[in-house]
Amino acid sequence: MEPPSGKNYLLLNRQRRHSIDRAGLRVFLSAVMPALGVKDESFSIVFTTDDVIRRYNRDYRGYDKATDVLSFPGEDDYLGDILISSETAYNQARQSRSLNFETNIRRLLLHGLLHLKGYDHETDNGQMRAIERRLRRKFRC
């Protein structure tokens, strides 16, 4: 499926439990994408349930549990796909003193985009974490 004209991302909500602020996410993405050097590349963001993300986590990473965000890199000018479990994001926000649901969604989206841009916190000696901390402060997420 092609992104809508004028945008290089597709935003899909495949869950109904938690309301997603699409307009707020568009504003956030319009600020974050240039900071990450996302210009002509396209990508998809899919909001899903714990059950669905658990299956992806099990099938592609070998972890049979739900997680908050997964990123699947693409090829050429397609950066890839970001899956976010709205259920896990909501529960994380409920347990946090400093995060609300919308802020956590933005944080997870930033994290997923960094992965699509090639960063990997599991192997890069702290580079991704440092960049992510700086961008979280800049974009208040």
Provide the pLDDT for residue 97. 94
3-state SS assignment for residue 69: strand
State phi, psi for 94 to the nearest 5 degrees: -60, -35
Q: Answer yes or no: are the C-beta atoms of 82 and 94 closer than 8 Å.
A: no
Instruction: Order across the sheet with 78-85: list the strands.
Output: 9-13, 42-48, 78-85, 69-73
pTM over 0.85: yes
* Nearest-angstrom CA–CA distance, 13 and 30: 19
Give the mean pLDDT per block of 10 residues along the chain (141 residues).
64 96 96 93 97 98 98 95 98 96 98 96 89 96 93
pLDDT at 123: 85
pLDDT at position 121, please?
Answer: 87
Domain covering 9-138 in this structure, CATH number: 3.40.390.30
Question: How many alpha carbons fall within 13 Å on the CB side of residue 50?
Answer: 11
